[in-house]
Amino acid sequence: MCLGIPGQVLEFLADQPDLARVDVSGVRRVINVGLLADDPPEPGEWILIHVGFALSKIDESEAAAALEFLEGIGQAYADELAALQESRIE
């Protein structure tokens, strides 16, 4: 739960503008982007996700560096991705 994980925004849900479909290392899940309401991300942009909420926008190079780092830490990231895989935010 402590990891911030980068994801790329794919699309916003039509009926709920606070929710966006996001790609995290190939896992596509719905994430709440309400905390970025002052400066919402566009589809294609990267966000830092924490327990189902986008905390900040990041650029592509930061996302790549963060992903490389997370993949290097092993089990903790695998656990986080497994948890995300089970997530069904609506």
Partner 1 sequence: MRFVDEFRDADKAHALAAKIAGLCEPGRQYKLMEVCGGHTHTIYKHGLEDYLPESVTLVHGPGCPVCVIPMGRVDDAIHLASEPDVIMTSFGDMMRVPGSQGSFFDAKAEGTDIRMVYSPLDSLKIARQNPDKRVVFMAIGFETTTPSTAMTVLRAAAEGLTNFSIFCNHVTIIPAIKAILDSPDLRLDGFIGPGHVSTVIGCRPYEFIASQYGKPVVVAGFEPLDILQSIYMLMLQLSEGRSEVENQYTRVVPWDGNLAALKAINEVMELRPYFEWRGLGFISHSAMRMRPEYAAFDAELLFQVPGVRVADPKACQCGEVLKGVLKPWECKVFGTACTPETPIGTCMVSPEGACAAYYNYGRMNRHRVVEVSIS
Residues making contact with partner 1 (CB under 8 A): 1-4, 32, 34-38, 48, 50-53, 55-56, 58-59, 62, 65-66, 69, 72-73, 75-76, 79, 83-84, 86-90
CB of 2 to partner 1, least distance (A): 5
Residue 7, number of CB atoms within 10 A of its CB: 25
CA distances to 30, 42, 53, 76, 82 from 6, rounded to whole Å, are 13, 15, 11, 15, 15
Question: Is residue 45 classed exposed, middle or buried when 0-12, 13-18 and 19+ CB atoms within 10 A define those classes?
Answer: middle
CB of 44 to partner 1, least distance (A): 18
Min separation Cβ 36 and partner 1, Å: 7
Residue 1 or residue 14: which is nearer to partner 1 going by CB? 1
